[in-house]
Amino acid sequence: MTDYASILADIAMRADDDALPADGLPARLSQREIDRAERQLGFGLHPLLKAIYRDFANGGFGPEYRLFSLTGGPTSEQAVDSYLRARSGYAGTEWAWPEGVLPIMTWGCGMYACVDCRSAEGTVLLFEPNPGDPDAAWFVDSPSLLEWFEHYVNDTGWWIKAEEGEDLDEMPPWPESRERAAR
């Protein structure tokens, strides 16, 4: 089991710097609530994501539109509901949602940051459906969830560079999207 104390402390310091709602961050989830969410999903959360929801907050912080609550909570979208809705709503279509890929945040305009909970690293994926091609809608945002949160903490993510007008190299496509959607 990995110790995530250092990144959780960094996230806490960064979240304190962000303009948070007056009532602060949503309360942490109990292990029992996380276990219930994992049963609903049908897979376990990546260990860092689990540590965040259990040891820090039930969403409400992070880049741009902020992390979804895992379940319940004050955010308008919850990760569990978003995943279940995507899996059932697109099942059997060319837009079928990949199994084990949990949406954790919206970027707006139909785009989502998602964690591949089946990968050891917790690869962070960008779902970008706007060009209209389901075979070209999934990209590797960050090779690991840890790295993605380090980008948030240090203001080095692609979203900061894009905001500053920097041209970005294209993100690599996620080659597993079609195979995982068929499951």
Q: What is the pLDDT of residue 2?
A: 77
Name the class of domain 5-162+169-181.
alpha beta
Q: Nearest 5°: CA angle at 48, between 83 and 39? A: 40
Q: What is the pLDDT of residue 24?
A: 83
Alpha carbon distance 35, 18 (integer Å) = 29
pLDDT band at 43 (very low <50, low <70, confident <90, very high): very high
- Which residue, among 149, 84, 137, has the nearest Cα to 109 in the 3D structure? 137
Q: In Å, how far are 66, 87, 94, 154 from 150, measured between CA atoms?
A: 15, 29, 34, 6
Angle between helices 31-41 and 47-55 (to 10 degrees): 140
Mind listing the pLDDT tens digit for each residue in 96-112?
A: 999 999 999 999 999 99
**What's the DSSP call for residue 78?**
B
Tokens 């860092």 locate to 48
**Residue 170 vs residue 97, higher pLDDT:** 97
Q: With 70 as the cut, is the pLDDT of residue 1 above it?
A: no
